[in-house]
Chains A and B, each alone.
Chain A
Amino acid sequence: MRVSDASVLGAVVARLPTGWRPRPSPVVDHLVSYVVGGESGRVRRLHLVYADARRLLRTTERREALAVLESHLTQAVAEMAPRRLFVHAGVVGWNGQAILVPGPSHAGKSTLVAALLAAGATYYSDEYAVLDPQGRVHPFPRPLQLRDAREMATSVEPESLGGRRGLGPLPVGLVAVARYEGGARWRPTPLTAGRAVLELLSNTIVARSHPSTAMATLRRVVSRARSFKGRRGEANETAAWLLEAVG
């Protein structure tokens, strides 16, 4: 990661992926560059974000540049992690097992995770299930990103919702494909192990580039888990059902 203006380093560092460490070597696998824009007299320079030589964004808004930077860095880690499989999912812990809620952005994962934390679950992630080759899920402890009615995201620490952070890996006890739909009631149908793998695979970052590895890991995930799919309405109702189901 490099920037053209040291004054933004604090804001950039705050958006680096969880667990980042400085490296002394200038040789890197992937180079992300932020050319800082702004106004100088009558000249207005754009904010530019690059991934290696590819330009990701040019914008007048610093906030937008930082958001794209953060999103890209997280995605890059998910794609390049050698021993972990990243699946788009909300994750909480409950009684020694993990509940996975796979789904794309804007599917309501964070809202449901927040309701689960308020009901006493332990926080693992509202964005990625980070799976090891044994199919256990590890914490991805960035703050929750809760959106308001205007789709503006706010970072919320899990402790402020009554939740605690999970520390170690957990086996997956429940997979719940729960797509939000206003007014819907949560009446899920069971998924077979194979169908559950397909649902998880459709939310897996490297599904296309490493399908064999992904399917082997996901098979281990579902071998110990019960899986369900349905439309959900109010998050608290669904959260209570999920906690009851995992026991």
Chain B
Amino acid sequence: MRIAPTLTEKIAKGMLMLACASAVASLLFVIVFILAGGFRHVSWGFLTQPILDMGRSGGIAPAIVGTFLMVFVALGIAAPLGVASAIYLAEYTLEGRATQAIRFGINCLAGVPSIIFGLFGFILFVVMLGLSWSILSGGLSLAAMILPTIIRTAEEALRSVPAQYRDVAASLGATRWQVVTRSVLPYALPGILTGVILGIGRSIEETAVVIFTAGSAVQMPRSLLDSARTMAVHFYILAREGISTEKAYATAAVLILTILVINILAYTLMHRVLRGRRAV
């Protein structure tokens, strides 16, 4: 017997809705759980004071500074490098064996566990280049870690730009570079930004790479060559060594909020740019 298509439709719709609802619910649960547990212990002092007694008391100011500096270094290197590589792959090369091999390699790298990048960063930056455990080593290693993701998403975003936009620009006398910068990039911006934000998220939440390459100093860093810990590392150490559950939750809450704020800022900025260009 055949089930009536209208009934199948109802069942399918119900199942899909259920799947979506459970996914959203579990995410919300995690976030609400952390925020509710953490925010009770977050105060102005917690955000501005130094880490005292290995984190048992005091605040997380050095970890906040360490986080931002390291993400800043990672992004400052990986974003331009990644977008430039993506532009070269998508706009300047013909699809062939070589590009396929490169794309395959990038996809593999994007799936490599972060600890491998930690080890790589430790050997190359900390030991061989003599940068020791520092924000610079950490930022460089994080850059290597997020680079494949940024290249991949940026290339995808560039390839999703309709070919006609390129034709129109070229037919009006644009060089290849002008085609890219004036016609293709503005259109691909939202997709590229998504990749960059993914990269920010991954570097903020990363622990393994940071412990291997930036150490876990509790002092306020004074230069990029100082060792420092990020909020994620701080949280990891607090929780793992059983130093202070309260402070761990509070750190996690601040971490989640930071990621949220960065996302909102990035997308607002993008919309303002697009609207300024009357692109919508």
Report if A and B associate in a common complex.
Answer: no
Residues of A near any B CB (own CB < 8 A): none
Residues of B near any A CB (own CB < 8 A): none
